[in-house]
């Protein structure tokens, strides 16, 4: 039992172990700066802009949610540069869990795995709730009305046709889409690059259509629409509710809209000139997406009063405001949003199963999580567990709580990534790096501080739940993970990460969709 005990928390994999487990593939360096920018845009634009913008404006920032996107984008850029350095230094496909295992040790890797459950698994629940909102809105356009008690979180007050209210049972459409996609992932669903490009094109086209048509409507009715921007920053009404404090709080919410940008850093081994192209890809895609997000926020808050946007489908609310003459356009936008969000749920759930699979192969989770189905060649038990958890969360909890937990988990993970860069610079200064974070150590420190600052703006009940979640994760590690770790046993697992030969699955480079 050598290696067990408190010291096991700090046990680290060596770079050589990582290379042995993952296989040092000789990837072609074919991606230029433009390729990386486009990759980043495709991965970033997804659920956040379609789902979380509304509540950020309605509850916290008002029209000034535009400024919140700038704040969140800058913080993402700081973390993105740190991801880029790690991706260029460690020969893995961008796994923050593996980065932590190689640098900070097994305990930190376990906690990173727990944080990634929030970033991927819980994020899939958020997207599913948003998906349900757009589906319910689209069905209503065709006269099909799902009872309100089956389209809201458990216990949520919903109005009845007679003017009274009752309590919702669950968000049934959100749970059903998750379960349907769970079955697809178990059976094995292949998402080709061509199909993925089509989905990305639909998402980007939908966003541009909303900006162009919505912008035309706003400019044509500017005298009326501009009144929705008075005041631009509503007066503070309490902690995190409007004012400058509300703008900061909204930044932690719209931060969700940037999840996925780290996919640019995972392409570091395929960049023609990583020292030049990686920062261009990361910063370029973040700048372009930030501008697009600001334009969408401008359109939404000009077209309707920001107080009306506290819904899972804010873009649907805005396009409905165009009037009956734009009904066909409204339906097209909703179909585009539903298509894009379906892909996002699928890929986020796949990403979560991939993390659990890796942890199980390391011995930190029970072996069934790495068990591959004899016929379908997919980790079916793992996928089923993830599907049930995601479906339950989507059916029972409200979107704001789910989204806040996702943002907190992701921000904490990004802070650890920034810390990992600093640790690796200290312990392995001579490790070859295709890219180095500029202005070191200022930018990594700013990344850590800014992530912690945004976490501090989230309401206390969410932070308390997060604290209990992390405490429970620590207990599970000491009760199971530490005693079953392959690293402690001296076991080396080859062919560690599931590849296309093991699973037919969506593209793992596109975690956000």
What are the backbone dihedrals phi and psi of residue 241, each rounded to the nearest 5 degrees, phi first?
-110, 95
Look up the pTM and report it.
Answer: 0.85
Token pair, residue 417, equals: 């990534």
Domains and CATH numbers, the chain: 6-489 (1.20.1740.10)
94, pLDDT greater than 60: no
pLDDT of residue 381: 93
Cβ contact 466:409 at 8 Å: yes
Q: What is the pLDDT of residue 312?
A: 86
Q: Give the C-alpha separation, 204 to 465, whole Å.
A: 35
Across 90-94, 176-180, 269-273, 340-344, least confident range? 90-94
pLDDT for the residue 159: 82
Separation CA 50–CA 256 (nearest Å): 11
Rounded Cα distance between 457 and 260, Å, is 22
pLDDT tens, position by position, 482-500: 888 888 777 655 544 443 3
Better pLDDT: 496 or 475: 475
**What b/e string do you get for 67-87 counting C-beta neighbours within 10 Å, with b at 16 or more?**
bbbbbbbebbbbbbbbbbbbb
Mean pLDDT computed over 444-452: 97
Helix H or strand E segment including 165: strand 165-167
**What number is the average pLDDT over the span 261-277?**
73
Question: What's 78-100 look like in SS3?
Answer: HHHHHHHHHHHHCCCCCCHHHHH
- Neighbouring residues of 141: CB distance < 8 A, sequence distance ≥ 6: 327, 330, 331, 334
Nearest Cα neighbor of 440 from 420, 417, 421 is: 421
- Look-up: residue for tokens 């072609």? 28
Non-local (6+) Cβ contacts of 98 within 8 A are 13, 18, 90, 92, 109, 358
């Amino acid at each position: 039992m050598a290696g067990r005990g408190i010291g096991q928390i700090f046990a680290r994999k060596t770079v050589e172990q990582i290379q042995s487990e993952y296989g040092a593939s000789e990837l072609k360096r074919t991606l230029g700066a433009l390729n990386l920018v486009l990759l980043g845009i495709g991965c970033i634009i997804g659920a956040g802009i379609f789902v979380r913008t509304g509540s950020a404006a309605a509850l916290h920032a008002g029209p000034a949610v535009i400024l919140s996107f700038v704040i969140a984008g800058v913080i993402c850029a700081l973390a993105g540069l740190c991801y880029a350095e790690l991706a260029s230094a460690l020969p893995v496909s961008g796994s923050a869990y593996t980065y932590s295992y190689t640098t900070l040790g097994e305990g930190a890797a376990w906690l990173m795995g727990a944080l990634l459950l929030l970033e991927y698994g819980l994020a899939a629940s958020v997207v599913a709730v948003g998906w349900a909102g757009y589906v319910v809105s689209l069905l209503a356009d065709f006269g099909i009305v799902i009872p309100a008690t089956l389209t809201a979180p458990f216990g949520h007050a919903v109005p009845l046709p007679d003017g009274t209210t009752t309590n919702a049972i669950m968000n049934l459409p959100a749970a059903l889409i998750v379960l349907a996609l769970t079955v697809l992932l178990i059976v094995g669903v292949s998402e080709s690059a061509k199909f993925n490009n089509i989905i990305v094109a639909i998402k980007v086209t939908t966003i541009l259509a909303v900006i162009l048509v919505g912008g035309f409507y706003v400019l044509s009715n500017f005298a009326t629409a501009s009144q929705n921007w008075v005041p631009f920053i509503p007066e503070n009404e309490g902690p995190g509710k409007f004012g400058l404090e509300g703008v900061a709080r909204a930044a932690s919410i719209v931060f969700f809209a940037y999840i996925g940008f780290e996919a640019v850093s995972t392409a570091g081994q395929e960049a023609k000139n990583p020292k030049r192209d990686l920062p261009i890809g990361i910063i370029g895609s973040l700048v372009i997406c930030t501008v697009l997000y600001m334009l969408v926020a401008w359109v939404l808050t000009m077209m309707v009063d920001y107080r009306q946007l506290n819904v899972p489908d804010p873009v649907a609310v805005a396009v409905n405001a165009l009037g009956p003459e734009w009904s066909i356009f409204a339906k097209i936008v909703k179909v585009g949003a539903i298509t894009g969000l379906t892909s996002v749920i699928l890929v986020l759930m796949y990403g979560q199963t991939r993390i659990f699979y890796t942890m199980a192969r390391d011995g930190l989770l029970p072996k069934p999580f790495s068990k591959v189905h004899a016929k379908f060649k997919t980790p079916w038990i793992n996928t089923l567990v993830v599907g049930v958890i995601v479906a339950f969360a989507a059916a029972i909890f409200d979107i704001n709580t789910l989204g806040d937990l996702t943002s907190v988990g992701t921000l904490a993970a990004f802070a650890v990534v920034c810390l990992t860069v600093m640790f690796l610079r200290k312990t392995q200064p001579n490790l070859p790096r295709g890219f180095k974070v500029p202005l070191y150590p200022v930018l990594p420190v700013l990344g850590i501080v800014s992530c912690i600052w945004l976490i501090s703006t989230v309401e206390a009940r969410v932070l308390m739940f997060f604290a209990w979640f992390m405490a429970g994760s620590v207990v599970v590690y000491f009760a199971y993970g530490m005693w079953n770790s392959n690293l402690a046993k001296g076991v080396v697992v080859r062919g560690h990460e599931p590849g296309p030969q093991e699973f037919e699955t969506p593209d793992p480079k596109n975690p956000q969709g």
